[in-house]
Structure 1
């Protein structure tokens, strides 16, 4: 958790509103494996990280609310009985959405002021949106004694994203950000919304992220499109979600679906299996197998699910050339963001450097290398 972020939002809040705020830190997340399986009721393997969003929040006595996004140097005043989504892509929709979804549960929220700032790299696929939603719902829950459970809070965050932001996201991002455990990844069953923590100590290996620093504009519409393809195939198969289907089941409807949708559904079924195998590999300390599953995941995301892009594929190809990298794949919704790499600790910096140079030569733009630590989920900062 970043102490400087916390300090910054606290002093800005005191300066602006002349009253001491509650302070919340809500982390972003990585995902070791299990991509696009969450909205198919499948398994995922995320972890909260030490980058995230710091928020300062307190009751307001002015008859309205103020939200300030320090990063963006942007502020908005609003009234609680007049909430509706503002223009597409506006940060305030995350705030409005959370408040509206709390009100939909017949919980009474009073006027409040909030200031937040994050250090999750934008467009990195590390779920800054879930971190923001969780910081708002967590803060309001504390401030107004709403007595929401953490599970209720993440469902509110998810609904906010569906109804106010327009992205039909699964539950993984909100879950990992809320329930993260320091030094652990969470093997999460997205149907039951329960997880098993796995202590991550890869001994002489570590996880490293490389951000392409691109975000192709396809991402939200392609995401919703993938989701509806999966849902229509589940319906054809007469199952609740693709999590319940096998490759054999899928073959029974092969002539009823387009070849590209067949591949997408096949990818989800295979990725779900890989996620379960990855948990076993971590249990058995079999990093070679884990790395191989991570590479397979990328191949599926690129060739079958078609959510990768040239920049991500290039970085994974660079990883494959280096024997010190056991596995690499794109992470997140796709069309940009980061690759996650399982790499020998002693070689990580050197690989980061060579990959960065190769990337610059190929695309004439910089990529960014991040080392992360696995952290606790959304919490009050004392």
Structure 2
């Protein structure tokens, strides 16, 4: 018996680097995703193959070690986490097939992890509830692979709803589907082709910096710094780097909440300036943008986008723009022309519509 599940990549509409600060985020699933097909074996070996990689990676369940497996570690980490929890598992043959661009900031890793986890849960009839599934997938990425993700990517892959964005409270790990009407509007994704690495030192540096700032301010997480108290909090910090991190996180949380209010009121057009303000904050305060990202944002705004921002962990990846559907072709042409002038690698542009989360496939 084989079972197949598909989990999507995601675009984060707004709310960047807020997840590990116990704050708020607003992602949505995209059509691109990863399909995992799993089958039980008669030994204790886990064999992971990908249509996008050379050769399978195989390991005994009892000998799985965090940090091993390379790209396959995201799948092996699911099995390792289940085994560490005391579950008796058979060997498994896992085949994955993904069309999420790797290194693009669209969460190809969470799509892989969540597709494997949901397929294994179904195949073995484990009966994992929503909270257990989230914990499993986070542990696979954080503890086995060593990628310090905050959990928002997994929530988006598991719980997204078609035609909605997913309002995520990263302290309680509760979510709410918020309607995202796109009548005569579109979300354009610009894949800059500048790859980033989530497990890299710059991501970790900012996470550790946020944790240090929270410690010095006497709060459990930066989410606890109220917008009205931001100036006083910044005055208590004597390092410019930490002040910049705090300012970004506190104002980004506020932008997420304002965006949710506008979408609840059915006013998708009005969120544009908030998206742009988010990018400015990531560029000037959190300092996680690169020229390819900034050029794409400026080109989209010059071409009539209502708002544009980097999405993902930063230092590469994708930009999103909210624009009138009738202006899509002109916006793409503007970005391509700007990249040509800068001698950047040609970008890949495509529209994204809010899609469903993980689901079983035929």
- TM-score w.r.t. length of structure 2: 0.95
| CA distance in 2 between partners of 1:100 and 1:63 (Å) | 12
SS at match of 2:14: coil
Kept in 1: contact 2:181–2:266 (CA 8 A): no
Kept in 1: contact 2:104–2:316 (CA 8 A): yes
User: 1:343 — aligned with what?
Assistant: 323
| CA distance in 2 between partners of 1:103 and 1:137 (Å) | 13
| CA distance in 2 between partners of 1:370 and 1:355 (Å) | 12
For structure 2, which runs of at least 5 residues remain unmatched after alignment? none
User: 1:129 — aligned with what?
Assistant: 109
Q: Which moved more, 1:26-35 or 1:209-218?
A: 209-218
Q: Which moved more, 1:290-299 or 1:215-224?
A: 215-224
Does residue 1:296 correspond to 2:277, yes or no?
Answer: yes
> Alpha carbon RMSD of aligned pairs, Å?
1.7
CA offset at residue 65 of structure 1?
2.2
Q: Which moved more, 1:284-293 or 1:129-138?
A: 284-293
CA offset at residue 254 of structure 1?
3.1
SS at match of 1:214: coil
CA offset at residue 86 of structure 1?
4.6
SS at match of 2:95: strand
User: 2:334 — aligned with what?
Assistant: 354
For structure 1, which runs of at least 5 residues remain unmatched after alignment? 1-19
Cα distance, 1:252–1:23 mapped onto 2, change above 3 Å:
closer
Kept in 1: contact 2:48–2:93 (CA 8 A): yes
Does residue 1:59 correspond to 2:31, yes or no?
Answer: no
Q: Which moved more, 1:331-340 or 1:276-285?
A: 276-285
Kept in 1: contact 2:293–2:319 (CA 8 A): yes
CA offset at residue 366 of structure 1?
0.6
CA offset at residue 255 of structure 1?
4.8
Does residue 1:29 correspond to 2:35, yes or no?
Answer: no
User: 1:272 — aligned with what?
Assistant: 253
User: 1:333 — aligned with what?
Assistant: 313
- TM-score w.r.t. length of structure 1: 0.90
1:9-48 map, 5 Å: 20-48=1-29
User: 2:171 — aligned with what?
Assistant: 191
User: 1:282 — aligned with what?
Assistant: 263
1:1-382 map, 5 Å: 20-86=1-67, 90-216=70-196, 220-247=200-227, 248=229, 251-252=232-233, 254-323=235-304, 325-382=305-362
Kept in 2: contact 1:219–1:335 (CA 8 A): no
Kept in 2: contact 1:237–1:250 (CA 8 A): no
CA offset at residue 270 of structure 1?
0.3
SS at match of 2:89: coil
Kept in 2: contact 1:158–1:174 (CA 8 A): yes
Q: Which moved more, 1:96-105 or 1:336-345?
A: 96-105
Kept in 2: contact 1:43–1:275 (CA 8 A): yes
Kept in 1: contact 2:179–2:264 (CA 8 A): no
| CA distance in 2 between partners of 1:49 and 1:253 (Å) | 37
| CA distance in 2 between partners of 1:300 and 1:86 (Å) | 33
